Amino acid sequence: MLPLIKLLRPHHWTKNLFVFTGILFSHDWENASLWFDVIMAALAFSLTSSAVYVINDIADREQDRLHPDKCRRPIASGAVGLNTARVLGVVVMVVGLGLAYMVSIEALGIIVIYLLMNLAYSAGLKHVAILDVFIIALGFMLRILAGTIGVGIPPSQWLLLCGFMITLFLGFAKRSSEMMALEDAGVDHRKSLEDYNMSLLDLMLGITGAATIMTYSLYTMSETTIAVHGTSQLIYTVPFVTYGIFRYILLLHRHGHGTDPSSDLFKDPQMLITGIGWAVVTFLLMR
């Protein structure tokens, strides 16, 4: 059972915390029915994303065997057979789509778009430089939309833009990490890496990192944000976001992190303290 669980990558379910963005910034925290829908939407996204991971691992098994870390994945290592992986992928996909349908037609539509987009990614779009990172970022945006439009919460345009920028930042950080880890073998592992170089990726990281800080800052100062949350003090959470961006760049270049943002958040004490600090201060200011 352990290889099957590992194949689903449950530790990556932390990415689906983006689904909770809408309710956390909605001030409708005492609505039990809304919390139930959001949790169901997050679970639906978790299962559907696990199905996507299975599909990707099946498609990338030969390339993964060339990677120093990914060669230990269940399919690449031979711990899980192809037929077993296919059955598992179909089961979790069907359950995930069923849960999304229970939430709303909008939530189901968003998750279907996510699924189709990732199928196209696995079929060949992952080999197109820059577009491959945009698809990863759009996957996170769809998570935010599932937790807003999917459950009937109007999304903040500034918050959506900030979410898009930070996910682009994480996507380019992932490519930078792959380039550094694979060195000359990188092109053999992922074709799109042939069109990247570290100078280009550093430029992309600088642009998206700065845009993340700027869009989040503008969100905290937005008249709509102030009216919804009843405070103009959210600007004091900007240092946490700024420090988090800079710390992540440091981890990428000095310690080789960036391949797995979910893991990096919990493994680095400073990133963890920064995240908790941001959450606590934000909660106190919005009370």
User: Which CATH superfamily hosts domain 1-155?
Assistant: UbiA prenyltransferase (1.10.357.140)
The least confident of 17-26, 131-140, 156-165, 254-263 is: 254-263
Q: Let me know: does 230 contact 284? Beta carbons within 8 Å.
A: no
More confident residue, 72 or 36: 36
- Measured distance CA(51)–CA(164) in Å, rounded: 23
Give the residue from 12, 2, 20 showing the smallest Cα distance to 153: 20
Task: End-to-end CA distance of the chain: give it in Å, rounded.
Answer: 44
- Measured distance CA(283)–CA(162) in Å, rounded: 19
- For the cut 80, the answer to whether the pLDDT of residue 193 exceeds it is no
Domain ranges of the chain: 1-155, 156-287
- Measured distance CA(241)–CA(216) in Å, rounded: 8
| pLDDT class of 74 with cuts at 50, 70, 90 | confident
User: Residue 134 has which token pair?
Assistant: 């945009």
Matching residue, tokens 């919005």: 286
What tens digit of pLDDT does each residue of 36-46 get? 999 999 999 99
- Measured distance CA(144)–CA(108) in Å, rounded: 14
- Measured distance CA(146)–CA(152) in Å, rounded: 9
The least confident of 2-6, 65-69, 101-105 is: 65-69
Q: Let me know: does 29 contact 23? Beta carbons within 8 Å.
A: yes
| pLDDT class of 174 with cuts at 50, 70, 90 | confident
The least confident of 55-59, 147-151, 174-178, 260-264 is: 260-264
List, as one string, the DSSP characters of 53-68: HHHHHHHTHHHHTTST
More confident residue, 100 or 60: 100
Average pLDDT rounded to a whole number, residues 71-96: 87
Alpha helices in the chain (DSSP H): 2-8, 21-24, 32-59, 61-64, 74-77, 82-103, 105-123, 131-146, 157-182, 186-189, 198-221, 223-229, 238-255, 261-267, 269-286
What tens digit of pLDDT does each residue of 237-260 get? 999 999 999 999 998 888 666 556
**DSSP at 150:** G
More confident residue, 276 or 190: 276
